[in-house]
Structure 1
Amino acid sequence: MSDPVLRLSGIEKGYNRGQPNEVVVLRGAELTVARGETVAMVAPSGAGKSTLLHIAGLLDTADTGEVAIAGENLGGISDRRRTILRRQEVGFVYQFHHLLPEFTALENVVLPQLANGVPRKDAEARAEMLLDSVGVGPRGAHRPAALSGGEQQRVAFCRAMANSPKLLLADEPTGNLDPATSDTVFDALMRLVQETGLSALIATHNLELAARMDRQVRLEDGRLVPL
């Protein structure tokens, strides 16, 4: 069996360690995400799902435990190596789109590729393909302020996919949208994930959306348990 795309082993994380106001967020969290698998992580606000996603995506470090992406154990690696892995292997989608307002939709998808050394012509071709695949290709020349909330988030999906990552991490990716738009946007995300065959760990409090993924887990008392 091939290595999972993501493996979290014994992840613990707390804040203000040793202080009277110490807060322990993760207590030995364990998870594997197989190649091509979509996993929903269900948790209420404040349960630590963002912290876990940040650790999984190399934006934060655990107090104890191990993170492996595509079979590479990331314990003790250099900051430079973490940055390269984050850029090449991981795509992020947040509740708010965080698009760069001074750039067009197309440019927002091109820029991560340029940072990764892709020639501009190739980056633009891939950006156009991705935008077309989620139905916002005709809006590529517009800046984020001229796009609807659903369009902005679909552009954010494309930006996360720009460098062909192995792993997509999403934190309430439709939580800022009305129910009808949320459904449409989530459909676009799942199509994009399935067509590219990447693995995804998606945090959501929406059980209907969670049920459309391959597997569901709940973050409960700092641990991940099957839903």
Structure 2
Amino acid sequence: MSEPVLELEGIEKVYLRGTDREVRVLDGASCRLGAGEIVGLVAPSGAGKSTLLHVAGLLDVADAGAVRIGGEDFAALPDRRRTIARRRDVGFVYQFHHLLPEFSALENVMLPQLANGATRAEARARAAALLDRVGLTARAAHRPAALSGGEQQRVAFCRALANAPRLLLADEPTGNLDPETSETVFAALVDLVRETGLTALIATHNLALAQRMSRVLRLEAGRLVAQEPG
């Protein structure tokens, strides 16, 4: 494997249920993702996929372990440093698109760039280029309510990639779509990731989609193990 873009080492995460019961969601989870890899993450509902992605993407803090992005350990850094790193290095896609309804598709993709210091002209040009890559040039001026579910999710993909992150994390990105639309949207995501050379970790319950990625990891009893093909 090439030098890892994402490295999780010995990640532990425990939640309290009630006043005294501990639930150990992550128990020494470790993995390494190289540049350009698209890795599937599978597990039953409630097994901790979202928790793992939130820790990997610096949205949550592990109780123990290292989170390295580009070789730098962000696990114990102050919130401000983690926020800067998250804006610079990580893109997120969720099951629900979370687009801002009052803005057009183009504007939704521009916003993260503007927040990161880009000029309006720079943000507009990159947003237009990303939307064109997923076949949405003709829909760029439409607000989310005028877009189909699949179109909304493709806009969300573009928004996640707007700041040219090194790492894309996706949590069931096609889970809210019908099977046919899911296929189309997943293909658009994979093509976009491959064209931009990103590293991606994509959680999905769809094993057929997962098997089309570079490799698949299974979250089992709080640890990550290789999913055997087939």
Contact 2:61-2:75 within 8 A present in 1 as well: no
Amino acid at match of 1:22: E
Query: By how many angstroms is 1:22 displaced?
Result: 1.7
Query: By how many angstroms is 1:44 displaced?
Result: 1.1
Q: Which residue of 2 aligns with 1:194?
A: 194
CA distance in 1, matches of 2:75, 2:125: 36
CA distance in 1, matches of 2:20, 2:84: 38
Q: Which residue of 2 aligns with 1:129?
A: 129
CA distance in 1, matches of 2:174, 2:134: 15
Query: By how many angstroms is 1:20 displaced?
Result: 3.1
CA distance in 1, matches of 2:190, 2:115: 26
* 1:43-90, Cα deviation, whole Å (9 max, x unpaired): 111000000000000000000111000111113312111111100100
CA distance in 2, matches of 1:90, 1:144: 23
Q: How does 1:33-52 map to 2 (within 5 A)?
A: 33-52=33-52
TM-score normalised per structure 2: 0.96
Aligned residues: 227
Q: Which residue of 1 aligns with 2:102?
A: 102
Amino acid at match of 1:3: E
Contact 2:6-2:33 within 8 A present in 1 as well: yes
Question: Which has the larger displacement, 73-82 or 49-58?
Answer: 73-82
Q: Which residue of 2 aligns with 1:88?
A: 88
CA distance in 1, matches of 2:3, 2:192: 23
Question: Which has the larger displacement, 160-169 or 11-20?
Answer: 11-20
Query: By how many angstroms is 1:109 displaced?
Result: 0.2
* 1:138-189, Cα deviation, whole Å (9 max, x unpaired): 1110110110000000000000000000000000000000000000000000
- Stretches of structure 1 that go unaligned for 5 or more consecutive residues are none
Q: How large is the RMSD of aligned CA atoms in angstroms?
A: 1.3
Query: By how many angstroms is 1:2 displaced?
Result: 5.3
CA distance in 2, matches of 1:162, 1:75: 24
CA distance in 1, matches of 2:188, 2:17: 41
CA distance in 1, matches of 2:109, 2:3: 29
SS of residue in 1 equivalent to 2:4:
coil
CA distance in 1, matches of 2:76, 2:174: 34
| Match status 1:61 vs 2:92 | no
SS of residue in 2 equivalent to 1:60:
coil
- Stretches of structure 2 that go unaligned for 5 or more consecutive residues are none
SS of residue in 1 equivalent to 2:160:
helix
| Match status 1:177 vs 2:191 | no
Q: Which residue of 1 aligns with 2:216?
A: 216
* 1:4-42, Cα deviation, whole Å (9 max, x unpaired): 110000000011189533211001000111011010001
Structure 1 pair 93–131 and aligned structure 2 pair: CA distance change class (3 A): same
SS of residue in 2 equivalent to 1:5:
strand
CA distance in 2, matches of 1:26, 1:18: 19
CA distance in 2, matches of 1:59, 1:108: 21
CA distance in 2, matches of 1:35, 1:19: 43
Q: Which residue of 1 aligns with 2:143?
A: 143
CA distance in 2, matches of 1:73, 1:116: 22
Identity of aligned residues (%): 71
Q: How does 1:149-160 map to 2 (within 5 A)?
A: 149-160=149-160
SS of residue in 2 equivalent to 1:151:
helix
Q: Which residue of 2 aligns with 1:118?
A: 118
